[in-house]
Amino acid sequence: MRHDASPQRCCGRPPACRRRAALLLAALVVLPTGLLAQEPDLGTEAQRAAGRQVYLEKCAQCHGENGDGQSYATPFLRPAPRDFTAGIFKFRTTPSGELPTTDDLRRSIREGMPYTSMPAWRGVLSSTEITNLAYFIKTFNDDFTGPYGVPTVVEIPRDPGFDEDNLERGRQVYEENQCADCHGNQGRGNGPSAPTLEDQWGFHIRPADLTKRWTFRNGQTRRDIYRTFTTGLDGSPMPSYDMPEEDRWALVDYVWSLSRSEPNYATAAYSHAVEGPLDLSRGPALFEEAEPAYFPVVGQVIEPGRSFYPGVNGIELRAVHNADEIAFLVTWHDLRADTRGRNGPDLPAPMNEPARPDTATTFSDAVALQFPATLPTGVERPYFLFGDRKNAVDLWFVDLAEGTGRRYIGRGYRDLQPASDGPPIEVRTAYDDGAWQVLFKRARLAGEGLSFPEDTFVPIAFSVWDGFNQERGNKRGITSWYAVYIAPLEQPAALGPALGYGLATLLLGLALVGYTRRKYRTATA
Amino acid sequence: MNLLVFAAVLAAMLAVRFFLKNLHILVWLALWWVALFVVFKYGIEPPLPASIVNMFMAIVTLALLAYLSATTSYLRQATEAVVRFMVDRRFTVPLVVVLLTVPALVAWQVYAERTARPTPPVSGRTIHPPPPNTISFKGKTIDLVNGENPYRALETSDPEAFAAHVENGRRIYYENCVFCHGDNMEGDGLFAHGYDPLPANFNDPTTIAMLQETYLFWRIAKGGPGLPSESTPWASAMPAWENFLTEEEIWDVILFLYDYTGFRPRAREEIH
């Protein structure tokens, strides 16, 4: 059972109110029995003073000198740095609406929040420094010093371990609690409510992509997952859930089964050589034999059109080729298919712009594969951001509102020219439950310009535009250069030479022993 | 260097030397070979490429053979042992095992090499590329050899003004640099995992601590695109900040980098 009827309501009602209600209840029930004797854990004056020193040095640049989350970096960070004065904390071992324990604050500082600007401070700060910091952070909100400062702790029982038999029940729990409303049917963070979610401060907030465990802000162990939905993430639309113990572990098992623990980022994709024709109408099935390569997508924060919180954080590539053609399948997760509006790599975008989700659907989703315009003979490659004056890039661009391919020759973001020469590109697109699938096909060899010869690493880079995030032109998610290897159509023989070398070595060994024995016998005779 | 590995290997070799007397010369040489292999393979950071390790081990093998053949008694000991192994009936079973194992290993190695997937070409990186003597910054010539951070002198003459410059540098850093170089300047920012080579780690004593401030100015102002054309390839994603920052802002962020990390810039070398 969900504690709050709707995610919107849960963030609309500030936990401070809830806290007051809770206190009233506590005053009625608990105070008379005199059980409120426990003091808040606030540390000593010296510990808080030491914590303040560390805070001003390491934390204030994002969380602000007054702990209100207002700083130089704030406009550029999403999720925004925590405002400690509000007394609302996402990561707790305490019930929804209550303050975190000292250990909760310590854990957040120590482990950080993966894939946000909050780094893990273990290894940089000592355990003592982290404790002092936690005590200092408690000084930003008075509730810590009062009766709310002694929160109840939700015990997490021993993990029974992953049990495949639980998955069916886990799937039911996922459905009963409407997890899919935000996180999507397959957990890709693309539920129907996903585009409308806001946090306490009115910023749009993306539901976690449950297939990418490494991005879980509250940690990716099974206990972390258990804690996250048991205590909820205050200030965000993620409520806390009340359910029987077995159901909790079944849900943990289910979330566990949806996700990989590591992104296993690749540096190269290996195109699979096939004999038959490459028929794009077969869809992703055409790429069944090809091994996927997953590359990290980061924000383009280098040139104007800076994208500090790109909508996409990774892209997967598969490639197949035959004697004449090569085909690529790129897939990535997107919380919504933006197929209205338009997009283009050459649309103007300001240097910086405030974050606001695109409700007007002005810009559509888009993707581009980037190759050097001519295969580099040496190791030098074009500048990875749309090329440079000396070395041009060949962009295979697809505006997903149109679903057809366009080519550009790029010599930097200010010099992108539509290209019409060279072999034509065939494109197919599909959006399947939170995942875009875009297929490309082209002749493998071209007289001039870009070719994909056998036994060659061809440099490849990607751009992804999330229309929801108002990404267009140079405001985009990017990758640096990676490579796609075009395997030879005929694999060189391996077994024959291996046996040959082995046999030769054996004969050599026998000859050596035979020679030595004969010589020895002659010597002793 | 991984001092732990060095210490462990040294301790193991000393223990063998003092506790196992009268080791056969071949065993002793084999121990040396293994010890050096461990040092090359695991004792050096960042790890040496396999081809370099193989080359070093070939040299080590030759050197050990040379050592063996330099002393007649050692050489005789060694040859006698080898001949005995091949001739003596007691060793027939191990001899057959060796005669079969070695060809099998060779065959397996050849097969693995032929079927191995090729690895993508690595993008090289020169840690501190040589700077030019002067650069042109928005039409102004900046002397990288004899120049200085114009605001560095304020550190002693006007600490308050100096602090204002450092604070401005802090603002610049958190608006522009933190995304790659990270909160703690360790090159592990939010987007760092998208780049190879990784962004520079300013807390590492081999980066800004051993460079002049003018060198930093050059790298920040000109970025990856401004790297010298010799000793390419450069895969640096560092932008040319001259397009977005003023000269004063660059000097200020340099002051902030040293202030935050606690390092001092390398002083200009005086030539007398």
Contact call for A76 and B179, based on CB within 8 A? yes
DSSP for A318-382?
A: EEEE-SSEEEEEEEEE-SS---SSB--TTS---SS------SS--B--EEEEEEESS--SSS---
Nearest CA-CA partner of A118 in A40, A63, A166, A192: A63
- Residues in chain B closer than 8 A to A388 (CB atoms): 225
Q: Cβ B194–A479 below 8 Å, yes or no?
A: yes
Q: Of the candidates A175, A336, A239, which has an alpha carbon nearest to the alpha carbon of residue A15?
A: A239
Contact B110 A501 (CB under 8 A): yes
Query: What pLDDT, on the 0 to 100 scale, is given for residue B234?
Result: 64
Q: Which residues contact A232 (CB under 8 A, 6 or more apart)?
A: A3, A10, A96, A238, A239, A240, A241
Q: For chain B, count helices (H), then strands (E).
A: 10, 2
Size of interface A-B (CB pairs under 8 A): 142
Mean pLDDT of B38-54: 85
Closest Cα in chain B to A521: B87
What is the end-to-end Cα distance of chain A in Å, rounded?
A: 96
* pLDDT at residue number A404: 93
Residues of chain A contacting B195 with CB distance shorter than 8 Å: 298, 480
Task: Choose the mutation target among A117, A383, A507 for the interface with B, i.e. most B CBs under 10 Å.
Answer: A117
Place B71 in a pLDDT band, splitting at 50, 70 and 90. confident
Q: Of the candidates A367, A258, A353, which has an alpha carbon nearest to the alpha carbon of residue A308?
A: A353
Interchain pair A76, B182: CB under 8 A: no
Q: Quick one: pLDDT at residue A176?
A: 95
Average of per-residue pLDDT across B94-123: 89
Burial A328-353 (b: 16+ CB within 10 A, else e): bbbbbbbbbbbbebebbbbbebeebe
Amino acid making up residue A358: D
d(CA A180, CA A187): 7
Q: Decide if B191 and A483 are in contact by the 8 Å CB cutoff.
A: no
pTM of the model: 0.85
To the nearest whole Å, the CA of A389 is away from the closest chain B CA by: 11
What local confidence, expressed as pLDDT, does residue A3 receive?
A: 52
Q: Which chain A residues touch B171 with a CB distance below 8 Å? A: 72
Is A485 close to B110, i.e. CB distance below 8 A? no
B95 neighbourhood in chain A, CB within 8 Å: 513
CB contact under 8 A, A71 and B174: yes
Cα separations in angstroms, A418 against A408, A421, A454: 4, 10, 28
Q: What pLDDT is stored for residue B272 in this prediction? A: 53
For A492, the closest chain B residue by CA position comes to: B114
List chain A residues with pLDDT less than 70.
Answer: 1-37, 355-360, 525
Is A189 in contact with A434 (CB distance < 8 Å)?
yes
User: What's the angle, vertex CA A260, arms to CA A258 and CA A261, rounded to 5?
Assistant: 130
**Cβ separation of A270 and B123 shorter than 8 Å?**
no
Q: Are strands A482-486 and A456-465 parallel, antiparallel or unpaired?
A: antiparallel
Q: What is the distance between the alpha carbons of residues A348 and A350, in angstroms, rounded to a whole number?
A: 7
How much is the pLDDT for A30? 47
Q: For B205-260, what is each residue's pLDDT tens digit? A: 888 988 899 999 999 999 888 887 765 666 788 888 998 999 999 999 999 999 99
**Residue B156 CA: distances (Å) to CA of A171, B159, B160, B162, B235:** 67, 6, 10, 8, 39
Mean of pLDDT over chain B: 88
Q: Tell me which amino acid residue B195 is.
A: Y
Residue whose C-alpha is closest to residue A176's, from A253, A107, A118, A247: A247
Closest Cα in chain A, distance from residue B85 (Å): 10
Q: What is the mean pLDDT of residues B71-81?
A: 87
Residue (of A112, A235, A239) closest to A182 by Cα position: A239
Which residue on chain A is closest to B238 by alpha carbon?
A302
Q: Rounded to whole angstroms, how far apart are CA atoms A367 and A351?
A: 21
The amino acid at residue A194 is A
Q: Give residue-wise pLDDT tens across range B112-169.
A: 988 888 888 776 566 678 888 999 998 999 998 888 999 999 999 999 999 999 999 9
Q: Do A499 and B107 touch (CB under 8 A)?
A: yes
Which residue of A57, A125, A298 to mutate against B (max B Cβ within 10 Å)?
A298
pLDDT confidence of residue A34? 44
Cis peptide upstream of residue A453 (ω within 30 degrees of 0) = no
pLDDT value, residue A7: 41
pLDDT at residue number A337: 94
Q: CA–CA distance from B194 to each of A110, A313, A482, B137 (Å)?
A: 23, 10, 10, 29
Residue A141 to residues A69, A203, B121, Cα–Cα distance (Å) = 13, 22, 54
**DSSP structure string for B156-225:** HH-HHHHHHHHHHHHHHIIIIIHHHH-TTSSS--TTGGG-SSPPP-TTSTTTGGGS-HHHHHHHHHHTGG
Q: What is the 3-state secondary structure (H, E, C) of A464-520?
A: EECHHHCCECCECEECCCEEEEECCCCCCCCHHHHHHHHHHHHHHHHHHHHHHHHHH
Average pLDDT over residues B18-29: 85
Chain A residues near residue B182 by CB distance under 8 angstroms = 119
Question: Å from B41 to nearest chain A CA?
Answer: 23
**Beta-carbon separation of A384 and B237 below 8 A:** yes
Six-digit token pair at B100?
A: 């079969």
For residue A371, give the nearest of A381, A361, A360 by alpha carbon: A381
Candidate from B111, B121, B174 with C-beta closest to A72: B174
CA distance A397 to A368: 4
In chain B, beta strands by DSSP E:
134-137, 140-143
Name every residue whose Cβ is closer than 8 Å to that of residue A50 and which is 6 or more positions away in sequence.
A129, A132
Would you call A297 and B87 a contact, using CB atoms and an 8 Å cutoff?
no
Quote the DSSP letter at residue B12.
Answer: H
The enclosing H or E element of A61 equals helix A60-63
Res B130: pLDDT = 82
Count CA atoms within 13 Å of residue B76 on its CB side.
3
